[in-house]
Amino acid sequence: MPRKARIDAPGALHHIIIRGIERKAIFKDTTDRENFFERFGHVISETETVCYAWVYMRNHYVLNLFGQSENAARRAYESFVAQGVKHGRRPDLVGGGLLRSIGSWAELKEYRDLGIRIKGDERLLGSSDFVERVLKQAEEQLEEKYRLRVSAISLQWLMDKVARYYKIEAENLKSNGKERTVTQARRVLCYIAVRKLGYRCSDVSKTMGISAGTVSKAANIGSKLSGIGKIQKLILDT
């Protein structure tokens, strides 16, 4: 049975798993594996993604980091497990999202006996109000993404719009110029193209003449710009 789509919310932590098809090994040999680790390291660095822990097994790869080096991560993980053992069995960490949020089946039954409706989702751990708030936010984001992605906005059209908004030439967005206005315009362009219109970083990189890693990093920085929502609306609606 397929899982529900992953929910992305500010401050959320994700447990990411890469599995081999039909449980087969995910790497052909040592060279293949090392090549993947090198590329993975570059992507993490270029996009400034926080990776707390990772582990590689023969037929799958898990991201969930505890340290920047293997030895440090190992020590931190061992300490984490040791601290958890002291607490014994935790009913609040067993079962679906709703059960974990409430604490136990007994407490959940008590709420239901009282006629109190609790909102839960297996993807989220938190109070009913928190779950409702995150789901509502996610739904609004999905609606916006769907609306934008079916609008068939081309990258060239977007480049022209962004250039007009920042009062620069569209060709400047393809240059390596470090001028503040051009740099910000490039970040906004990458953010809208990748995060809102659903373009792949590789597609944007070919159009702009920059690496896919640079596009990803620019999109990430663009998402954090002050007033990015208003800027996006002005660019797309004019």
Q: What is the pLDDT of residue 167?
A: 94
pLDDT tens for each residue of the chain, 238 residues long: 345 566 666 666 777 887 888 778 888 888 888 888 888 887 877 777 778 777 777 766 666 666 666 677 778 778 877 887 887 776 555 545 555 555 554 555 665 566 655 555 556 666 667 767 777 776 666 666 666 665 678 899 999 999 999 999 999 998 777 889 999 999 999 999 988 888 888 889 999 988 888 898 899 999 999 999 899 989 988 6
CA distance 119 to 129: 8
For residue 15, how far is the Cα from the chain centroid? 10
Q: What is the pLDDT of residue 2?
A: 47
Q: What is the pLDDT of residue 186?
A: 94
**Residue recorded with tokens 């582990």:** 55
CB atoms inside a 10 Å sphere around CB 144: 13
Inter-residue contact 234 to 165 (CB < 8 Å): yes
For residue 236, how far is the Cα from the chain centroid? 23
B/e letters for 182-221, b = 16+ CB within 10 Å, e = fewer, are bebbbbbbbbbbbbbbebebeebbebbebebbbbbbbbbb
* Bridge partner residues of 56 (DSSP): 61
Domains of the chain as residue ranges with CATH: 1-88 (no CATH), 97-145 (no CATH), 151-237 (1.10.1750.10)
